[in-house]
Structure 1
Amino acid sequence: MSTLSPLDRLMPRGYVRQMFCFPSTHADVSHILKTSLAGVVADVPYLLSEIIISDDHRHISLSKPYQSLKDLFSEQDISNAVDYATLKQQHFPPSAFTVPGIIPPDTQPPFPNPAPVFRARLALVNRGFILCVAVHHCTTDITGFGALLKIWASYSRTSASTIGFGPDWLDRKALLEQFHASDQRAPASIPELLHVQENIVKPIGSSFHSPNWTTGIFFFPQKTLQSLKQAINQYIASQDAEGWVSLGDILTVLLWSAILVAESDPNTDIKGTSTIGFPVNFRSRLNPPLSPNYLGSAFVMAVATCLREDLIFAKNASLPSGDMTLDSASISALAKIATTIRTSLHQVDGERVRDVLLYLDAAPDNHPPITLGPPHDGISIVSWADQGAYELDWGSIIGKCDAIRLPKLMNKRYPIVLPRVPATADGDGGLEVIVCFDRPVWERFRQSWPICQFATLRCYS
């Protein structure tokens, strides 16, 4: 029987959930998805289980598998309400996914207790379909979620898993057994990648009761980001500095700056520092490493701190939209912040992760609530870019998805970088970012210099 790891039990008690949009209208879509899901369940039996939370909310466990495939998969015909071609023309706006019948039951607050580990809903629309998949966060992270999709697509494509699935995808004991085997002990004090939960810092400019939340999706073309990355790394090399920064580091800088521009009063909030949090997948950082397709939770939170004035340096940028010509001072500032983010990522190494896992494993039941990561200002930027969902081939009948979406959000949400969009004959590849702010903040985010210069608004609701 599968059990939850100490890190799994620290995850948010909700769902990792995505909507996948396919243009197929074949009559066998439902049959193929159901029969191929049976193969997934045979490989990953705990999908038939439930998450059980104790009455005092301090303990969480996984039940024995007892559900059936019928519990996991449902379908709904909403073709009278939703037209696929219209959705595609509008870049699949978030509001379209709030139509009743798209989201599987029991995967929205308030959650039942026990709560299902897995639910999927096939929504048939006019000229296509939407597949909504929800997996309880206490069993997986976004990388594990992507691995589950990889298994499902493989069975859908070939009626047999051909992706090298093995026990190491499932083995939650692997997180700790190597440390116990060498008789390593938990650190006496709480590790730097954890902290005791205290009062949550209210982010600057936040409004948690806004009646006017706006969800927007912005697109950053790959070619634009690649050119910016090249310019910044050339600058770093010109300063005789070692190291480099990634495209992801640079996008994090742009989004971080756009957030501060949107939420700050430029007359009073330019001084001081800003600290953000972001998840770091540690599968490859352990020794020996976990499988890259390990299905459990395997990330920790890192933080980066920079001067606010460095982050808001171009608040009055007047370059026309799409003109990415930045002066040397701007390139220097971007390089400085991106290097800070890269340094923070490097600090998540095997030793620090070991300390986290051993400490969580040894923590007594009466330990004060623990939160992942050092404290930060409440701003988090999450990336699903490497999920690889667009590349999945679900077979000749189902095909590949056109878009991956979340529904219109009704709460504030700092940027989530959606799975990387590959280049096609119809358009350039790049990265989509979804955010949700109350309308005035959203407008300032949209009009901020990083968005105006490097992104386009795809849709909003």
Structure 2
Amino acid sequence: MPFLAIKPARADNNIHAGHFHELFAIFQDNMTNATSVEGLTPIDALMPRNYIRVVLVFEDATNQSAQTTGLVQSGLNVISKQIQWLSGRVFPKASAGGDPYSLEIRWDGHTTPTLIDKGTIDISYDTASANGMQPESIPETIWPVSGMIDESLHIAGAPVFAASTFRFADRGFGLCICMHHNAVDGAAFSEIIRQWGRAIAEPDLVIPSSFEGRCERLTAALADDLAETLSTSTDELFEKHPEYSRLPPAVPETFPSCTCKLFTVSLNWIDTLKSLLAKHTLTPPSTNTILSALLWTTITRVRTTSGSFSSEIQNSRLVTAVNARRHLPLAFSPPDAQYLGNAIFYGFAEFSAPALAGADESPIRSLAEICTTVLNSQYPFTINARHVAEVHELITRTGDPRALFVGWDLFNSRDLTITSWADFGLYGVDFGLGLGRPSFVRLPYMEADGVVIVLPRRRGEGETGVEVVVMLQRDHMDVLVEDEMWRTLTKG
């Protein structure tokens, strides 16, 4: 996920303190004399100080939760030996005066993460699944850690990994997984879960332990481009990367009430639009491109309709998370030893806000132009090794990534950010007998304005739509759910 102003809702500080107390008791032993260190890259340090949190929900037809938990823990024991820094904590790196700010993971070889049993919740699996397992149906109490990492925990060393299990009131099993965002991005998170599932389903499987050395892998992949970037001035780097800014965002005195909601965008409509748009675009738009364009136009229209969209706002910016692994040499992240650090960068598109809001007046031609704008911001020639090297250099020159800010508007209902997990394949992870594949992949209920997360796709014959979690101001969400075009595009 990008560094966004996202916060968990209905947070209870006492509950969170209890979560961390439980977790620290598990991670405390043997950590005082950490013997191994994994340095984190400048790209890692740029990420927000929070946890990526995902819950996998299983129908658990056998309803043998004790045996199931044992199998899941045994798989965790295996991958903790292969990816040893999972058992560690993220610390600010000790440095002499004037050294740039950096982070590192410290761990020893005697600690293994332990699942926290959250017991049985009062919610029925049958009822929640019939309603699509909405984010608000997942209580905050089931998570092993809070989403945010405060300063005291950061200094003390926040655990890289935490996981908990719970059971629904009638049947069904939940596995909550949290990983420190400075250690992993969504792609790395998903690969670790995939390896975890393999370790459970195939107990005798030996997983290659070639997952360390991220700093060396990144600098090796960027060596030539980093050398050429040295001659580019800092001002030129900022001009080439408007997604970053020297200036912190202007924080309003009060924040509007925000909410989030899960929608399913019809694949039938997306496929229809693909056919209609083909003759108006040089490159046939993908499902992701069309979905991004639809979200951008619809949310801008909703914001305009609500009356809170400032007439002074001429342009809206779309920021999309792009997985740079696909655009770097194969040796950087081969299939059998994928890069497990942060390698997500930002496509940055800009378009006339009035044109976005009125795109439904001549939908196909307007949508084609918007799709082209989105695609150009994400193309391999846009997010490539040179792009990554320039961002790496920009962070290095800043000296402290905390002094590098986002270049888009977080608070004035102007811009939109989209992070897609569609291709991460979590529904295809088989956890073996007793669990099988997850029936739902969900995120916690979160609040923000202008943030969309595309959930993992359910690939196969039964897939009829793409699930998206939309976060907006509450009054804008009220308009969205009643918007005639959005209701046509979505279901559920």
TM-score by length of 2: 0.79
Find out whether 1:365 has 2:399 as its counterpart. yes
1:283 to 312, 325, 330: 325
User: Of residues 125, 128, 133 in structure 1, which corresponds to 2:177?
Assistant: 133
Separation (CA, whole Å) in 2 of partners of 1:396 and 1:363: 51
CA distance in 1, matches of 2:445, 2:331: 37
The aligned counterpart of 2:365 is: 332
2: CA distance between counterparts of 1:7 and 1:265? Answer: 38
Q: Which has the higher helix share?
A: 2
Give the match for residue 434 of structure 2. 397
Give the counterpart letter for 2:403 in structure 1.
P
Give the deviation of 1:266 after TM superposition: 7.5
Query: Unaligned regions of 5+ residues in structure 1, if any?
Result: 237-241, 318-328
Match status 1:142 vs 2:177: no
Post-superposition offset of 1:368: 7.8
Q: Does 1:219 align with 2:264?
A: yes
Residue 255 (structure 1) aligns with = 295
In 2, distance between residues paired with 1:288 and 1:275?
A: 31
Distance change (3 Å), C-alpha of 1:198 and 1:135: same
Distance 1:21 1:155 in 2: 19
Q: CA deviation at 1:389?
A: 0.5
Cα distance in 2, alignment partners of residues 59 and 389 from structure 1? 34
Residue in 1 aligned with 2:164? Answer: 121
Q: Which residue of 1 aligns with 2:50?
A: 14
CA shift digits 1:371-411 (9 cap, x unpaired): 46678954211111111101111112211111111222244
Match of 1:439 in 2: 474
After superposition, the Cα gap between the structure-2 partners of 1:124 and 1:219, relative to the gap in structure 1 and judged at 3 Å, is: same
Check whether the contact 2:80–2:113 (CA below 8 A) recurs between aligned residues.
no
8 A Cα contact 1:153 1:392, kept in partner: yes
**Structure 1 pair 54/182, CA: closer, same or farther in 2 (3 Å)?**
closer
Conservation of the 8 A alpha-carbon contact between 1:253 and 1:334: yes
The reply to whether residue 298 of structure 1 matches residue 332 of structure 2 is: no
Q: How is 1:176-195 mapped onto 2 (pairs within 5 angstroms)?
A: 176-180=219-223, 184-185=227-228, 186=230, 187-189=232-234, 191=237, 192-193=240-241, 195=244
Give me the whole-angstrom Cα distance separating, in 2, the residues matched to 1:418 and 1:368.
28
CA distance in 1, matches of 2:109, 2:303: 46
The 2-side partners of 1:436 and 1:375 are apart by: 15
Say whether 1:23 aligns with 2:63.
no
Residue-by-residue CA offset, 1:285-336 (whole Å, 9 max, x unaligned) = 1235521531100011121111223211256x7xxxxxxxxxxx31111000
Partner Cα distance (1:216, 1:228) in 2: 24
Residue 30 and residue 410 in structure 1: after superposition, are their counterparts in 2 closer, same or farther (change >3 A)? same
Give percent identity, aligned residues only: 22
CA drift at 1:16: 0.9
Task: Supply the distance in 2 between the matched residues of 1:381 and 1:147 (Cα, whole angstroms).
Answer: 21
Q: Amino acid of the residue matched to residue 208 of structure 1? A: F
Alignment of 1:14-413 (within 5 A): 14-24=50-60, 25-26=63-64, 27-53=66-92, 59-66=101-108, 71-79=113-121, 81-98=122-139, 100=141, 102-105=142-145, 107-108=147-148, 110=150, 112-113=153-154, 114-125=157-168, 126-161=170-205, 165=208, 167=210, 171-180=214-223, 184-185=227-228, 186=230, 187-189=232-234, 191=237, 192-193=240-241, 195-200=244-249, 208-210=255-257, 213-236=258-281, 242-265=282-305, 272-288=314-330, 290-291=332-333, 293-314=338-359, 329-346=362-379, 347-360=382-395, 362-363=396-397, 365=399, 369-371=403-405, 378-412=415-449
Please tell me the residue identity of whatever aligns with 1:177: A
> What is the identity, as a one-letter code, of the residue corresponding to 2:399?
D
Q: Structure 1 residue 169: deviation in Å? A: 7.1
Q: 1:105 to 1:16 in 2, by over 3 A?
A: closer
Secondary structure at the residue paired with 2:107?
coil
Tell me, in whole angstroms, the C-alpha distance in 1 between the residues paired with 2:401 and 2:214. Answer: 26
Conservation of the 8 A alpha-carbon contact between 1:20 and 1:405? yes
Backbone CA RMSD of aligned residues:
3.0
Query: Using a 3 Å threshold, how does the CA distance of structure 1 residues 366 and 8 change in structure 2: closer, same or farther?
Result: closer
User: 1:421, 1:432 within 8 Å by CA — same for their partners in 2?
Assistant: no
- Displacement of 1:160 in angstroms is 4.1
Q: 1:207 to 1:234 in 2, by over 3 A?
A: farther
In structure 2, distance between residues paired with 1:183 and 1:337:
33
What is the DSSP-based 3-state SS (H/G/I as helix, E as strand, rest coil) of the residue aligned with 1:184? helix
Provide closer, same or farther for how the CA distance between residues 95 and 453 of structure 1 changes in structure 2, counting only shifts above 3 A: same
How far is the alpha carbon of 1:161 from its aligned partner? 4.2
| More displaced 10-residue stretch of structure 1: 33-42 or 411-420 | 411-420
Q: CA 1:201 to 1:372, structure 2 compared with 1: closer, same or farther past 3 Å?
A: closer
Letter in 2 for 1:23: E
Q: CA deviation at 1:87?
A: 1.4
Structure 2 distance, partners of 1:127, 1:311, is 45
CA contact (8 A) 1:258 1:449 kept: no
The whole-number CA distance in structure 1 between the counterparts of 2:129 and 2:306 is 38
Tell me: CA distance 1:71–1:143, structure 2 relative to 1, closer, same or farther (3 Å).
closer
